[in-house]
Structure 1
Amino acid sequence: MNEDLTIFFCIGVQKSGTTILARILDQHPDIACMWESYAFKPRLKASIFHPESDSWRKHGFAEADVRRWSARWGGRPGAALRRLVRRVTGTDYVGMIQFRHTMSPALADFARRCNATVVGDKWPWYIDYLEETMQAFPNARFIYNVRDPRGIWNSAQRFKQRERGDEILQEMLQRDRFIAPYLSRPNFLTLRYRDLIRQPEKTARRLYEFLGCEFDPAYLVYDPAQDPYPQRWSWISQASRPLDPWQTEKWRVEVPAETQARLTAESRWFIEKYGYDK
């Protein structure tokens, strides 16, 4: 692993705007951001470490490397033993070691191909492996994204007609309680989806400064022709479109009033904590 590289991870919960966050980061010429590696889930076909996945192809990895990384994960002890170790110690040490030995070369390779000095991965579920990720990359920086509870409910409820609003909202609230003790650390940055969309220049300045990069308004304009791997964003159609402030407000129109009242009551502490309108 190139010791000069700055490593970061975008974390939070699905539907909170992490894909837009990743794209804005990736638009900076010195920053390269992978899109949902599923690194801790190597047996899922969504993982860049699964030879049958199309994710590694979308990121330009060599098949030989992917097969070598997959074999490394395949050689770890059984799930029962890993669960026992994690229950006793609070950390999946085996998974952490495998993650470090596979993600380090993956990040370095992606940074090299993108001519980047700052490289990271956007995968909200890193929050479930926070200790393992911090131990594998002690100097890593973490960007934690949050969204208005009513907005995330509306997005999760409507996305591909899956109606997962209540599930994803509770996920966000539970994870925020979990991560709260970490957020005051200097290597953690918290931002709101609303600010990312409605105040992109101000928010991007914070992001780039946090990663040690300079700001230029030109970096806020997405040009697929300048993106070496634009197919990364294909899962979320809005990811390659211009930022639209309506995305932060449409829940007020699309969510029934009685549902808005229920969601506000259930997440009042979160709304107050992050300064959203009641």
Structure 2
Amino acid sequence: MSPDGARPVFIIGTERSGSNLLRLILNAHSRITVPHPPHFMRFLAPLAAGYGDLSVERNRRRLVDDALGLLARHIHPWPHPVDRDRVVASAGPTVFGVVAAIYEQHRAAEGKARWGCKSTFMVDHVDEALAEFPAARFVWLVRNPQDVASSAKTAVFGHCHPYRMARLWRTQQERAIAAHTRWGPGVVHLLRYEDLVERPEKELRALCAFLGEEFEPAMLAHHTSPAARRTARLSESWRLAGRPISTGRVGAHLTGLSPTERLLVDKVTAPLKKRLGYPVDERARLVPVPSPPAVALRSALLRSRVELRSARQDENHRLRLARDGYVRWLRVKSLVRRAVPAPRKSVSPA
């Protein structure tokens, strides 16, 4: 691993906050590569107990096989093959150690100095990443939760129901705040989506300074890259990836959410929303919380519309369904493995 390879960059926060935009901007830098994430830690970390002691090669190989199976079904395929045996040999004895070894192979194949990960779910694994890479840096990307909910309502990623998305935003921002408080702004850099699109060069210069890199004008032309054009083709939810940085989606909730949905999002997120510099409608406290059956029904209706549109328009629709089925299969396998424990290290007699 190169010295800079031990300084990975993580984008954390909540999906639908502009993380694909930021990923492509960073990927346009000559020294940083940020492939689209298969969300390894999101799907595999909860299954860790099923692999047993990962310092045992056989157990680690099982995990690597499952991780590469996930990568093979990734909704945004990576451009380079990953050598299974090299991952097994080089990975640390943790789930994140395996993930890092896979990303390190991608970095080497791209010929860049540093790798990055856009899986915003890494907000749950900041301590694990820093245990492996003390020089890692985290970009906490935050966006108005009403706009997040508006985007998620019509996207195949995230909760379609604004109430559920607001709850997820609140939980993940609480975890990001905890990481920022614990590790400080030298490790966790707060970046508001609205500031990024309104003052892109200023914010990107500050971001590069935080990362210890030189600002490069190519970052402002990320949309002209082959990576951006490919992303925009794959899914309707990513169509803006092939366009220049724009303020056009700021305030999208004004047309994307109903007045009641906007107030409901504020009701759920108000304290954190204020803390992060977003206005809150005080009428939100008067809005009743919907019943679980009502939320479930509305979620199902919204999801069915999204899936129908995705089936018609998205190139990666089948891959996403295959990925979701594979994740369910991994959970079943994990239950079986926990019932029949994986091998542990043998202990030599004294």
- TM-score w.r.t. the length of structure 2 is 0.63
Distance across 1 between alignment mates of 2:109 and 2:252: 39
The AA in structure 2 aligned to 1:204 is L
- For the aligned residue pairs, the C-alpha RMSD in angstroms reads 3.1
For 1:34, the aligned partner's letter is: P
SS of corresponding position for 2:160: coil
Cα distance in 2 for partners of 1:134, 1:56 equals 28
- Alpha-carbon distance in 2 for matches of 1:172, 1:25: 23
Q: Which residue of 2 aligns with 1:33?
A: 34
Partners in 2 of 1:34 and 1:256 — Cα distance?
A: 35
CA contact (8 A) 2:163 2:264 kept: no
Aligned equivalents of 2:75 and 2:89: distance in 1? Answer: 15
Aligned-partner residue type, residue 155 of structure 1: S
In the alignment, which residue of structure 2 is the partner of 1:19? 20
Name the one with the larger helix percent.
Answer: 2
1:88 equivalent in structure 2:
none
Deviation at 1:239, TM superposition (A): 1.8
**Structure 2 residue 161 is the aligned partner of structure 1 residue 170:** no
SS of the residue aligned with 2:177?
helix
Residue 13 of structure 2 aligns to which amino acid in structure 1? G
Q: List alignment gaps of at least 5 residues for structure 2.
A: 48-62, 281-350
Partner of 1:78: none
Query: Which of 129, 133, 140 lines up with 2:129 in the alignment?
Result: 133
Alignment equivalent of 1:110, drawn from 71, 96, 106:
106
CA distance, structure 2, for counterparts of residue 276 and residue 154 of structure 1 = 16
Amino acid at match of 2:271: W
Does the C-alpha gap of structure 1 residues 38 and 68 become closer, same or farther in structure 2, counting only changes over 3 Å? farther
Report how far residue 211 of structure 1 moved. Answer: 1.3
Q: Name the aligned partner's letter for residue 131 of structure 1.
A: D
| Residues 188-236 of structure 1: per-residue CA shift (max 9 Å, x gap) | 1111111222221112112211111111334211255x54696456342
Tell me if structure 2 keeps the 8 A contact 1:39–1:49: no
Work out the percentage of aligned pairs sharing the same amino acid.
21
For residue 271 of structure 1, the aligned residue among 256, 270, 273 is 273
Separation in structure 1 between the aligned mates of residue 121 and residue 202 of structure 2, nearest angstrom = 27
Amino acid at match of 2:68: F
State the partner residue of 1:190.
190
Change in CA separation of 1:72 and 1:170 when aligned onto 2, cut-off 3 Å: farther
Distance 1:57 1:178 in 2: 27
Letter paired with 2:261: T
Match of 2:148 among 142, 149, 152: 152
Cα deviation code 1:148-197 (max 9, x no counterpart):
01111111112249733222221110122223232141211111111222
**1:220-231 equivalent positions in 2, closer than 5 A:** 220-222=220-222, 224=224, 226-227=225-226, 231=230
Q: Deviations over 1:56-87 (max 9, x none)?
A: 98322325x147648999xxxxxxxxxxxxxx
TM-score (norm 1): 0.78
For 1:173 and 1:52, the matched residues in 2 are separated by 29
Alpha carbons of structure 1 residues 57 and 183: separation in structure 2 relative to 1, 3 Å: closer
